Amino acid sequence: MTTIQTGRHIPDRLTSPFSRALKSWEALLLIVAVAIFVLNSLASPYFLDPWNLSDATFNFTEKAMIAFAMAILIIAGDIDLSVGAIIALASTMMGVAMTLGAPTPVLVLLGLGTGLACGAFNGLLVARLGLPAIVVTIGTMSLFRGISYIVLGDGAFTGYPASFAWFGQGYVFWVITVEMVIFALAALGFGILLHRTNFGRMAYAIGNNATAARFSGIRVGRVRFILFLLTGLMSGVAAICLTSRLGSTRPSIAFGFELEVVTIVVLGGVAILGGSGSITGVVLAALVMGLVTFGLGLLNVPGIVMSIVVGALLIAVIALPRLWAMLRRG
Amino acid sequence: MNLLKSREAILALAILGLLALIASRFPGFVAPANLAAVFTDSSPLILLALGQMAVILTKCIDLSVAANLALCGMVAALMNGAGIPLPLILIAVIALGAALGAFNGMLVWTLGIPSIVVTLGTMTIYRGVIFLLTGGAWINAHQMSPAFKAFPRTVIAGLPVMAWIAIAIIAAVALLMMRTPLGRAFYAVGGNPHAAVYTGISVGRTQFAAFVLAGALAGLTGYLWVARYAVAYVDIAGGFELDVVAACVIGGIAIAGGAGTVAGCVMGALFLGIIKNALPVVGISPFWQMAISGAAILIAIAFNAQSQRAPGRIILKRAEHRT
């Protein structure tokens, strides 16, 4: 008998406590978001300024773009830890092209292309060769960022063309940034993909039971490959936005992004072992994360302390429902 | 059995081939003194890889080992600054490392949270705690006592203490894996958790023990690292967890758990150590190292996956051998 690649094992429980709590998860997130919003506006008089709020969205828009694709990838039972490294490589490629005098449209295409290529590479190794996603993407994380280091060493690319700055620094209308529009479009697009298409249903099916999905005629390998492609593509989009916003490329760009992206996804109520979750939850989680970091920033909390908060949030979000279920059971 | 044997043999051949390649251009590299230096330099990686091996054997992964190392190293430096004698510092960092590992292990054991999520979280938390302890300040060589810095470098019978510690730990872990119920439990839990439960092994407790072992080794390495490089700050050993996982994967530790040997693990670490030390000798920029270890991880997993297509996994190697 040939063994079928089933991604990750699903525990022998009918429903996880987490999925039971999920019923009200989005509602809970919304309440938390509103509460943080109110608290912040009470804590600082500068919070409610539209321009400040607009600035604050940069905290999460780039990460959230990737989080949408990552959410569907995780729902299907895989994970991609190389997203930060893909940003670094895509940004480096754009930097190389920029020094050769490439115009903005070429830079954008190159950013997207690099993202797609990296996603395809991950997808090939995971979906086609059947290697475990965690180690593959730990390996490619090192490989992609390593290539950036080979190209850049301890240097940096600066001097992107003025028209390139539009993506990360431009405004579409009043305080609405270009990144916000991309964020909204991505949310809509991935929301439709996950909740309104066959493809989305396939992702859930694969995440719940890849073997059963295979027997019900889903081309499991192809769906997983496409999901890695999408995650790579969105990392490319994020690379364009981030590079454009910073106006420079260093090999350490977007270091640790994967942690925050995964945190947003998990905070959004997506089961880390796959099978359940929604894009609405991820959107709300991105808002909560953005508001928390913005609020802490207004209170002058240093970045590394914020990362403690992010790390603790990641564990607490998964631990608390399980702890709650455990206490109720006995 | 043949496959298991051949995997280590292939890795040994790869290492010898690598050394031969370097020696053909730079014969000085394979001089015994230099090889001993390479081994000493690889000692932290070997120590962490041995702990990581136990964790991976039980189907988990620990991404927080480098942060654990950095935190314990910083605590060692702070204790040294407070005038606490070295033996006490050693006991304290091992205990602290074990406690940090136990925290990971508790979350995995009692709450059943996937280890990757737990350790991704604690990785940033532990590093953040260093910042909270020091406010981001560095502890430099002149703030450390001479005895504190000298211990890992003290040469006994031709090798520094650091290398001897690595040798002792390799022997101890090999003994643990091959000769104790706990060691065999690591393999059993990873090979088939359900079968392990039926044989009376607690899967969660075994995973917990693996995290404690990995944490304790990270704590010990934290002191060795800080004392050897004579500096402690928030970002020491940043990204080192990837090298550690790479060493295990290259060494043939199956990421799905249940298969792998101490010898393979040590050779995986040495392979990376040799590359790291050879790059400047051969004249390649050290910036290549990250990409090379990434590529090595990918080649190693692809290779391991090929040899693991065999049905079933071997838990009792000797029994298997006799039949």
Q: pLDDT tens-digit profile of B35-46?
A: 999 999 999 999
Does the pLDDT value for residue A64 go beyond 60?
yes
- Provide CB contacts within 8 A for B75, sequence distance 6+: B92, B93, B96, B133, B222
pLDDT band at B135 (very low <50, low <70, confident <90, very high): confident
* DSSP code for B84: -
Shortest Cα–Cα distance, A117 to chain B (Å): 16
Q: Kindly give the interhelix angle for A279-298 and A303-329, rounded to the nearest 10 degrees.
A: 130
Inter-chain touch B127–A273, beta carbons under 8 Å: no
User: Smallest Cα–Cα separation from B75: which of B25, B22, B148?
Assistant: B148
Minimum Cα–Cα distance from A129: chain B residue: B302
Chain B contact set for A143 (CB, 8 A): 290-291, 294-295, 297-298
Look at B313 and A69; give whichever has higher pLDDT: A69
The β-bridge partners of A157 are A249
CB A8 within 8 A of CB A271: no
Chain A contact set for B62 (CB, 8 A): none
Does the pLDDT value for residue A135 go beyond 90?
no
Does the pLDDT value for residue A153 go beyond 50?
yes
Q: Measure Cα distances from B299 to A124, A139, A269, A325, B305 in Å.
A: 14, 9, 35, 42, 10
Counting residues of chain B whose pLDDT is more than 90, the rounded percentage is: 61
Query: Could you write out the DSSP letters of every residue in A125-175?
Result: IIIIT---HHHHHHHHHHHHHHHHHHHHTT--EE---GGGGHHHH-EEETT
Average pLDDT over residues B283-302: 86
Kindly state whether B61 is in contact with chain A, defined as any CB-CB distance less than 8 angstroms.
yes
- Asked if the A22-33+50-324 domain carries CATH number 1.10.3470, the reply is yes
Distance CA B269, CA B258 (A): 19
Distance CA A239, CA B159 (A): 48
Among B58, B106, B124, B293, which would you mutate to test the A interface (most chain A Cβ atoms within 10 Å of its Cβ)?
B124
Distance CA B243, CA B70 (A): 15
pLDDT of residue B307: 61
Does the pLDDT value for residue B49 go beyond 90?
yes
> Which residue, chain included where needed, has tokens 């995440």?
A207
Kindly state whether B287 is in contact with chain A, defined as any CB-CB distance less than 8 angstroms.
yes
pLDDT of residue A303: 79
B291: nearest CB among A147, A266, A314 = A147
What single-letter amino acid sits at B111? L
Average pLDDT over residues A98-119: 95
B305: nearest CB among A129, A145, A304 = A129
Inter-chain touch B256–A132, beta carbons under 8 Å: yes
Average pLDDT over residues B287-304: 86
> Please, what's the b/e burial string for B226-255 (b: 16 or more CB within 10 A of its CB; e: otherwise)?
bbbebbbbbebbeebbbbbbbbbbbbbbbb
Minimum Cα–Cα distance from B133: chain A residue: A305
Average pLDDT over residues B54-77: 95
What single-letter amino acid sits at B254? A
CB A284 within 8 A of CB A26: yes
Does the pLDDT value for residue B225 go beyond 90?
yes
> Which residue, chain included where needed, has tokens 């004249």?
B283
Domain boundaries, given as residue ranges, for chain B = 2-322
Shortest Cα–Cα distance, B164 to chain A (Å): 30
Pairing of strands A171-173, B155-156: unpaired
Sheet strands (E) in chain B: 155-156, 159-160
Does the pLDDT value for residue A240 go beyond 90?
yes
The domain defined by B2-322 folds into: ABC transporter involved in vitamin B12 uptake, BtuC (1.10.3470)
Shortest Cα–Cα distance, B220 to chain A (Å): 24
Mind listing the pLDDT tens digit for each residue in A266-279? 889 898 888 999 99
Widest Cα–Cα separation across chain A: 67
User: Smallest Cα–Cα separation from A256: which of A170, A163, A141, A167?
Assistant: A141
Inter-chain touch B112–A79, beta carbons under 8 Å: no
What single-letter amino acid sits at B292? I
C-alpha gyration radius of chain A: 20
By three-state DSSP, how is residue B222 classified?
helix
Does the pLDDT value for residue B3 go beyond 90?
no
Distance CA B146, CA B148 (A): 5
Chain A contact set for B294 (CB, 8 A): 139-146
Does the pLDDT value for residue A294 go beyond 80?
yes
Shortest Cα–Cα distance, B254 to chain A (Å): 10
Inter-chain touch B124–A307, beta carbons under 8 Å: yes
Shortest Cα–Cα distance, A21 to chain B (Å): 15
Inter-chain touch B301–A135, beta carbons under 8 Å: yes
Chain B contact set for A152 (CB, 8 A): 287
Shortest Cα–Cα distance, A141 to chain B (Å): 7
User: Smallest Cα–Cα separation from A293: which of A64, A65, A59?
Assistant: A59
CB A103 within 8 A of CB A161: yes
Kindly state whether B291 is in contact with chain A, defined as any CB-CB distance less than 8 angstroms.
yes
pLDDT of residue A209: 92
pLDDT band at A173 (very low <50, low <70, confident <90, very high): confident
Shortest Cα–Cα distance, A307 to chain B (Å): 6
pLDDT of residue B308: 57
Minimum Cα–Cα distance from B298: chain A residue: A139
Chain A contact set for B297 (CB, 8 A): 135, 138-139, 142-143
pLDDT band at A323 (very low <50, low <70, confident <90, very high): confident
Distance CA B65, CA A132 (A): 21
Indicate the average pLDDT of chain B: 89
Does the pLDDT value for residue B311 go beyond 70?
no
The β-bridge partners of A172 are none
User: Smallest Cα–Cα separation from B241: which of B215, B261, B260, B266?
Assistant: B215
User: Smallest Cα–Cα separation from B86: which of B154, B157, B134?
Assistant: B154
Shortest Cα–Cα distance, A143 to chain B (Å): 4
Kindly state whether B198 is in contact with chain A, defined as any CB-CB distance less than 8 angstroms.
no
Does the pLDDT value for residue B166 go beyond 50?
yes
Among B297, B308, B309, which would you mutate to test the A interface (most chain A Cβ atoms within 10 Å of its Cβ)?
B297
pLDDT of residue B323: 40
pLDDT band at B164 (very low <50, low <70, confident <90, very high): very high
Look at B4 and A225; give whichever has higher pLDDT: A225
pLDDT of residue A100: 93
Inter-chain touch A319–B246, beta carbons under 8 Å: no
Does the pLDDT value for residue B106 go beyond 90?
yes
Chain B contact set for A136 (CB, 8 A): 298, 301
Distance CA A284, CA A258 (A): 18
**Continuous segment of H or E residues that includes residue B162:** helix B161-179
pLDDT band at B320 (very low <50, low <70, confident <90, very high): very low
> Which residue, chain included where needed, has tokens 């006490």?
B88
Does the pLDDT value for residue A110 go beyond 70?
yes
Inter-chain touch A142–B255, beta carbons under 8 Å: no
